[in-house]
Structure 1
C-alpha cells in the first residue's frame, strides 16, 4: 500500500473511490440477481449473464422487459461509477498500472449496458473487455493494497483470467463444464465483482485512518 501524505484531499479521493466501487459492486450483484428473477425461464446454468439485457422471447420485442431495463441500467451505472473511481484513484496514487485496467473495466461495463446482447459483435467485444480488464484490475490493485488483501486480489484476478482462458480455449470441455456455459461465465465475472466489493470497502477504510 502506498502511504498517503496526510493531505485531506487525497483521503477524500480515496473515500470517493472506495464508496463508488463498493456501491457499484452491490448494484451489479443485486441488479443481476433481480434481473434473473424477472426473466421468464432464465437458467443460471444455460443462460449467459448478458442474456439478461435482451428481450425475452415471450415478451413484445418492441418493449424492453423489466429484466433488460434493470440489467442494462445497472451495468451502465456501475460502469460510470467504476470510471469515476479510477479517476479518483489516479489522483491519489498516480499509478497507471492500477488505473488503466480499472478504467477499461468501467468502459466495458458501460458498453455492455448500452450495447446489449442484441448488438452482437460489439456487445461481445465489450464483454471480453470486462473479462480481461476485470481480472487484470484485481491483480494490479495489489500494488496499492496491504497484506493480506493484496494476495486475495491477485487470487481473485487469477481465478477470473484462468477460467476465461479455459473457457476460450477448451470451451465446454473445460473443468467447469458441468456448470454449463452460464455457470462457467459466472466463474469469470463473479470473482471480479467480489473484488470490487472488497477493494471498495478497503479503500473507504483506508480513507479514515485511526
Structure 2
C-alpha cells in the first residue's frame, strides 16, 4: 500500500484534498490572525506595515502584546501548513515548479514569524522572500487549474507582483513618490499581501472541489 492509499484510508482524503484543506486553513489563519492582532494593537492603522504587529523596526523597536505573539504565531502556523501542503502537492503533480514555489512561499512566511521586525536583516529577507515567492506561486498556479479559475490566479498573482515591483521601480529607479503613496506604506504592502492570502482558500477550495477522494481529478487534470 502506497503512502497516498494510506492517507486516504486513514483520513478519507486524497493528497490533493488534504493539500486543499491545509491551504484553506492556512488562508483562514493568516487572514484572521492579522485582523485579530490589528484589533488588539493600540492605535494601529492599516497605513502601518503589517510586520509592525510583531515588532517595529530598529533603532527603537516597539512591541505590543498580545498582538506580537498572535501575529508571530499566525505566521509560524500559516507557513508550516503551506509547506506541508506543498509537500503533498509535490507528490501529486507533474509540474514540480508550482509546489516548489509554494514551499518557498511557506518557508518565507514561517521565517517572518521566527524573525520579527526588530531582527535585522533576517526579517526583511524573509518578508521579501514571502512576497516574491508568493506572487510567483500564484502565477504558476494558473498553469495547473482550469479556466476560468486560472484567470483569477493570474490576476491575483499579477497584481501582487506588479505592486511589489513598482515599489522598487519608483524607489530605486525613478526615486520619486509611488502612485499609491496616499495609501501609506502599509496600504501598499496590503496590495501585495492580501491577494496572496485570498488565493490560499480559493485554491484550497478548488482542490477540495476537484479531488474525488479516490484518485483526485486535480492530479489527472494537470497531467493532461
Same fold (TM over 0.5): yes
Match of 1:4 in 2: none
Aligned length: 198
Alpha-carbon distance, 1:144 to partner: 1.3
Structure 2 counterparts to residues 105-144 of structure 1, below 5 A: 105-144=105-144
Match of 2:221 in 1: none
Q: Distance in 1 between matches of 2:203 and 2:125?
A: 26
Stretches (4+) displaced over 4 A: 7-11
Match of 1:147 in 2: 147
**Does the 8 A contact of 2:111 with 2:123 survive in 1?**
yes
SS at structure 1 position matched to 2:133: helix
1:192 is aligned to 2:196: yes
1:173 is aligned to 2:177: yes
SS at structure 2 position matched to 1:140: helix
Alpha-carbon distance, 1:187 to partner: 0.2
Question: Which runs of 5 or more structure 2 residues have no equivalent in the other structure?
Answer: 218-224
SS at structure 2 position matched to 1:113: helix
Structure 2 counterparts to residues 48-59 of structure 1, below 5 A: 48-54=49-55
**Does the 8 A contact of 2:53 with 2:64 survive in 1?**
no
**Does the 8 A contact of 1:55 with 1:65 survive in 2?**
no
Q: Distance in 2 between matches of 1:122 and 1:55?
A: 14
Question: Which runs of 5 or more structure 1 residues have no equivalent in the other structure?
Answer: 1-6
**Does the 8 A contact of 2:115 with 2:123 survive in 1?**
yes
1:206 is aligned to 2:210: yes
Distance verdict in 2 for CA 1:19–1:197, change over 3 Å: same
What TM-score, normalized to structure 1? Answer: 0.88
**Does the 8 A contact of 1:79 with 1:109 survive in 2?**
yes
Q: Distance in 2 between matches of 1:18 and 1:175?
A: 36
**Does the 8 A contact of 1:35 with 1:70 survive in 2?**
yes
Q: Distance in 2 between matches of 1:191 and 1:55?
A: 23
Q: Distance in 1 between matches of 2:95 and 2:84?
A: 15
Q: Distance in 1 between matches of 2:159 and 2:177?
A: 18
Which of structures 1 and 2 has the bigger CA Rg? 2
What TM-score, normalized to structure 2? Answer: 0.83
**Does the 8 A contact of 2:41 with 2:64 survive in 1?**
no
Whose helix fraction is larger, Structure 1's or Structure 2's?
1
Q: Distance in 1 between matches of 2:99 and 2:113?
A: 21
Match of 1:88 in 2: 88
**Does the 8 A contact of 1:55 with 1:64 survive in 2?**
no
